[in-house]
């Protein structure tokens, strides 16, 4: 009996072992427990519903649980179906028997489903801020995912969940009209950590890739770090303008091709505010075409027409907490002339610190005001070091240009936003200009004043600019200083110079308040200039030279001026200047307007004198005023052995000239004066010879298109006779 009982127990044990073995390795499929599983799912999330086919059960004796797996189920979330590959879970036998929550974990493998649907499903389990953000920005795309969730005894999802999978053909709309298109990546999501790998996408039509971007959540702040790579590509300039704003638009970039390798990290909060951005970028700038419109570069680069090109630049960018550093080097191309440039720019608060070296070897350089030109294919190095501020002020700590034996050095030059000088500490020039004149001069600041000393200086161009510029040509912003000048030899043109020029100039509010200038020509002739401002705020200017030829040579419409003594005096009051110019005992050889007048008046003999040895004048006097670019000539009178002229009119700068007057040969003057009883006999005698009467004339038109008319006059005006008598008596 006992043996039979033992035998029966062994058989039962064997059968039970076989059943356990079968259930553990092969399991069983049934639909009988579908309702039970659905009810368990509802315990997890009331918004979920399951549609199951057959369910396979595998026994796990080790932990007294049952592994449940169903293929191709559908999850209904708010009555919207999501097609899955499978669902797997483990049921606790003890909880299942006691009718308690019995699911330990759940594994879900999806088919390719829409991104938005997965986000909605995930939010049903954990409605986090990051999932809310994703739901807002995701517009298109598909996801294939594996989801693993573990539950506590109350049916709540534990923090050790894991979600991984693939995203394909994604589209996201970001802030400020930025977009991500055709997004493809591998992802892994854990509690407070998001890994994005093998990213390939298009950001604002720029193809980018990334091996890894890592996002870690801590106290409602997200730390984002990773790498982004862009390949060689022609960049749509309009997209960069939209991305970088108005400052980029002002640069007039026409074409750009580049690739980048960027490492970054930053923090972003739930309100999308980015902070503590750190960026390290390696940029290969293959080409960039820049159309300059900010500065008149052609004044300094004669080859320049419209566009400057950059090629093959290697650039490093470091950005950290609103500070960034850019360094790079490459080719600088101006109209197919290739030079090189290296640069470093550091931004700190509202300042840009820059250091640039440009090797101008192929291109020419022009400094017109100094009459200097560096020829093509001559090596030179330009160094620029300074600070640019957000208010458009620039401080050059150093400007240096070296070419063979020519050197230009400037230290501590500050310019305002209109490129006017605020301060300069040193200007050291040592060069040979295009007229082969050696220039050697130094300007130094001494407290608030300036000392200028030199051996040689060619002031030809500077004088021309001062005489022909009606606008505010001041180089300084608001100069309140004394300038002391001592130059041994100062050129007024290519051949004529003054020696031992000494000057003391006092500036108040950017205007000359007082000036004393003395110098001598090599022939011992004088050149003296004074400016004084009296108590009535009248500025009185005087100029004297008994060698005026170099001064008048600047006016190209007068040629062949010889001899003479020049006296000039002007008074400026309330921006109106009244002047008197007197020149005695001179002759001129060529004045185009005068030659035309003489020809039209049929005074060919005098016209021949003009183009031959020249016409002599004993007296020239002009009274005129200037106000806002308008010169009004009250009277201009010239008398000589051959001809006399009386004229008035006005000249509007660079617009119109309007003059009228009387021109009379000397024989007519003598005959008229001789007819005056008693006085005529004394002045000119009784025999005056023959001659023609004078002519009246008008000259009017633009400076480039003057029209001249003449009419004979039979009688001279009392004014003309009076002025002539005054001059004859004086002489």
631-655 tens-digit pLDDT? 898 988 888 877 888 889 998 877 8
Q: Could you give the number of structural domains in the chain?
A: 2
Please say which residue of 94, 112, 132 terminates a domain.
94
User: What's residue 578's pLDDT?
Assistant: 93
Q: If you write DSSP's letter for every residue of 515-546 in order, what string do you get?
A: EEEEEE-TTS-EEEEEEEE-TTS-EEEEEEES
User: Do the domain assignments include residue 495?
Assistant: no
Residue 512 token pair = 């000359």
User: Do the domain assignments include residue 392?
Assistant: no
Q: What is the DSSP letter of 53?
A: -
Residues forming a β-bridge with 616 = 587
Q: What is the pLDDT of residues 197-220, one digit of tens each?
A: 999 998 877 888 999 999 998 887
CA–CA separation, 29 and 86 (whole Å): 14
Of the listed ranges 594-598, 636-640, 690-694, the one predicted with least confidence? 690-694
pLDDT band for 108, please (50, 70, 90 cuts). Answer: confident
pTM, rounded to two decimals? 0.72
Of the listed ranges 341-355, 418-432, 621-635, 712-726, the one predicted with least confidence? 712-726
Query: Mean pLDDT across the stretch 329-336?
Result: 90
Q: SS3 for 436? A: coil
**What is the residue-averaged pLDDT of the chain?**
79
Residue 641 token pair = 């052995």
Q: Report residue 438 CA to chain centroid gap.
A: 35
CB–CB of 199/183 below 8 Å? Answer: yes
CB–CB of 493/553 below 8 Å? Answer: yes
Q: What residue numbers bound the domain in which 61 lies?
A: 31-94
User: Do the domain assignments include residue 672?
Assistant: yes
CB–CB of 444/451 below 8 Å? Answer: yes
How many residues would you count in the chain?
731
Nearest partner of 645 among 723, 713, 703, judged by Cα: 723
Q: What is the pLDDT of residues 142-178, one digit of tens each?
A: 888 888 888 777 767 788 888 899 999 988 887 667 7
CA–CA separation, 444 and 422 (whole Å): 15
CA–CA separation, 239 and 676 (whole Å): 89
Q: SS3 for 256? A: strand
User: Do the domain assignments include residue 64?
Assistant: yes
Radius of gyration of the chain (CA): 47
Q: What is the pLDDT of residues 542-561, one digit of tens each?
A: 999 988 887 777 665 666 67
User: Do the domain assignments include residue 366?
Assistant: no
Helix pair angle (115-125, 129-137), 10° resolution = 160
Do β-strands 80-92 and 103-110 pair in parallel, antiparallel, or remain unpaired?
antiparallel
Own/partner contacts of 468-475, CB < 8 Å, gap of 24 or more, are: 470/629, 470/653, 470/654, 474/420, 474/510, 475/420, 475/421
CA–CA separation, 103 and 92 (whole Å): 6
Q: SS3 for 601? A: coil
User: Do the domain assignments include residue 80?
Assistant: yes
Residue 432 token pair = 């040979």
User: What's residue 157's pLDDT?
Assistant: 77
Position 688 pLDDT exceeds 60: no
CB–CB of 223/265 below 8 Å? Answer: yes
Q: What is the pLDDT of residues 386-401, one digit of tens each?
A: 998 877 789 999 999 9
Please say which residue of 48, 73, 94 terminates a domain.
94
Q: 619: burial class by Cβ within 10 Å (0-12, 13-18, 19+)?
A: buried
Q: What is the DSSP letter of 492?
A: S
User: What's residue 100's pLDDT?
Assistant: 59
Q: Which residues contact 238 (CB under 8 A, 6 or more apart)?
A: none
User: Do the domain assignments include residue 681?
Assistant: yes
CB–CB of 400/409 below 8 Å? Answer: yes
Residues of 57-67 as b/e, b for ≥16 C-beta within 10 angstroms?
ebbeeeeebbb
Residues of 492-515 as b/e, b for ≥16 C-beta within 10 angstroms?
bbeebbbeebebebbbeeeebbeb
Please say which residue of 94, 121, 146 terminates a domain.
94
User: What's residue 607's pLDDT?
Assistant: 60
Percentage of the chain with pLDDT > 90? 26
Query: What sign results for the dihedral spanned by CA atoms 108, 114, 116, 120?
Result: negative
Residue for token digits 């970028």? 281
pLDDT band for 113, please (50, 70, 90 cuts). Answer: confident
Residue for token digits 């030199």? 454
CA–CA separation, 54 and 74 (whole Å): 13
Nearest partner of 69 among 86, 83, 53, 84, judged by Cα: 86
Residue for token digits 């009784």? 686
Do β-strands 307-320 and 562-573 pair in parallel, antiparallel, or remain unpaired?
unpaired
Q: What is the DSSP letter of 227?
A: E
User: Do the domain assignments include residue 686?
Assistant: yes
Residue for token digits 């029966």? 8
Query: Mean pLDDT across the stretch 495-508?
Result: 91
Do β-strands 449-458 and 482-491 pair in parallel, antiparallel, or remain unpaired?
parallel
Position 417 pLDDT exceeds 50: yes
Residues forming a β-bridge with 421 = 415, 476
């Amino acid at each position: 009996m006992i043996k039979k009982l033992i035998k029966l127990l062994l058989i039962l044990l064997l059968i039970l072992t076989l059943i356990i073995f079968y259930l553990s390795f092969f399991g069983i499929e049934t639909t009988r427990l579908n309702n039970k599983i659905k009810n368990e799912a509802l315990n997890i999330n009331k918004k979920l519903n399951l549609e199951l086919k057959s369910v396979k059960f595998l026994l796990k004796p080790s932990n007294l649980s049952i592994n449940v797996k169903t293929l191709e189920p559908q999850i209904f979330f708010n009555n919207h179906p999501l097609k899955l590959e499978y669902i797997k879970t483990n049921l606790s036998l003890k909880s299942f028997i006691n009718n308690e929550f019995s699911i330990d974990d759940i594994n879900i493998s999806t088919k390719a489903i829409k991104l938005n649907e997965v986000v909605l499903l995930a939010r049903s389990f954990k409605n986090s801020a990051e999932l809310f953000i994703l739901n807002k920005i995701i517009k298109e795309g598909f996801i294939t995912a594996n989801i693993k969730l573990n539950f506590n005894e109350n049916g709540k999802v534990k923090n050790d969940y894991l979600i991984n999978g693939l995203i394909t053909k994604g589209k996201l709309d970001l802030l400020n009209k930025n977009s991500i298109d055709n997004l493809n990546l591998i992802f892994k999501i854990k509690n407070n950590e998001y890994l994005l790998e093998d990213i390939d996408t298009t950001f604002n039509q720029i193809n980018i890739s990334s091996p890894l971007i890592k996002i870690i959540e801590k106290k409602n702040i997200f730390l984002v770090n990773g790498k982004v790579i862009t390949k060689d590509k022609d960049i749509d300039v309009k997209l960069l303008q939209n991305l970088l704003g108005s400052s980029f638009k002002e640069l007039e970039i026409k074409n750009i091709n580049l690739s980048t390798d960027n490492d970054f990290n930053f923090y972003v909060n739930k309100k999308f505010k980015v902070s503590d951005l750190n960026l390290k970028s390696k940029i290969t700038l293959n080409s960039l075409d820049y159309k300059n419109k900010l500065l008149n570069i052609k004044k300094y680069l004669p080859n320049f027409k419209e566009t400057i090109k950059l090629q093959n630049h290697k650039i490093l960018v470091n950005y950290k907490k609103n500070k960034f550093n850019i360094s790079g080097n490459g080719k600088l191309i101006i109209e197919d002339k290739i030079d090189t440039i290296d640069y470093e720019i550091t931004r700190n608060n509202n300042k840009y610190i820059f250091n640039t070296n440009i090797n101008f070897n192929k291109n020419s350089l022009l400094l017109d005001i100094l009459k200097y030109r560096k020829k093509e294919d001559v090596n030179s190095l330009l160094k620029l070091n300074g600070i640019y501020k957000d208010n458009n002020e620039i401080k050059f700590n150093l400007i240096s240009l070296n070419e063979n034996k020519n050197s230009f050095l400037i230290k501590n030059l500050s310019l305002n936003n209109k490129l006017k000088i605020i301060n300069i500490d040193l200007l050291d020039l040592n060069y040979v200009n295009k007229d082969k004149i050696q220039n050697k001069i130094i300007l130094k600041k001494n407290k608030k004043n300036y000392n200028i000393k030199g051996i040689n200086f060619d002031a030809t161009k500077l004088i021309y600019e001062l005489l022909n510029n009606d606008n505010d040509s001041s180089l300084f912003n608001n100069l309140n200083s004394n300038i002391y000048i001592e130059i041994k030899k100062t050129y007024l043109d290519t051949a004529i110079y003054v020696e031992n020029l000494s000057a003391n100039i006092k500036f108040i509010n950017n205007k000359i308040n007082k000036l004393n200038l003395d110098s001598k020509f090599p022939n011992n002739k004088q050149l003296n200039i004074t400016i004084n401002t009296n108590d009535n705020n009248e500025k009185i200017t005087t100029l004297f030279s008994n060698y005026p030829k170099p001064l008048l040579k600047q006016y190209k419409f007068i040629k062949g001026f010889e001899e003479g003594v020049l006296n000039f005096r002007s008074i400026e009051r309330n921006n109106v200047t009244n002047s008197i110019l007197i020149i005695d005992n001179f002759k001129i050889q060529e004045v185009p307007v005068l030659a035309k007048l003489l020809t039209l008046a049929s005074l060919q003999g005098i016209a021949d004198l003009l183009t031959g040895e020249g016409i002599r004048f004993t007296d020239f006097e002009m009274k005129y005023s200037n106000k806002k670019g308008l010169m009004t000539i009250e009277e201009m009178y010239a008398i000589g052995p051959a001809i006399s002229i009386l004229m008035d009119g006005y000249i509007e700068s660079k617009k119109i000239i309007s003059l009228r007057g009387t021109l009379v040969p000397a024989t007519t003057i003598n005959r008229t004066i001789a007819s005056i009883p008693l006085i005529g006999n004394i002045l000119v005698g009784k025999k005056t010879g023959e001659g023609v009467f004078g002519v009246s004339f008008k000259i009017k038109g633009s400076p480039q298109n003057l029209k001249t008319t003449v009419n004979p006059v039979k009688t001279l005006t009392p004014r003309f006779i009076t002025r002539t008598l005054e001059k004859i008596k004086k002489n």
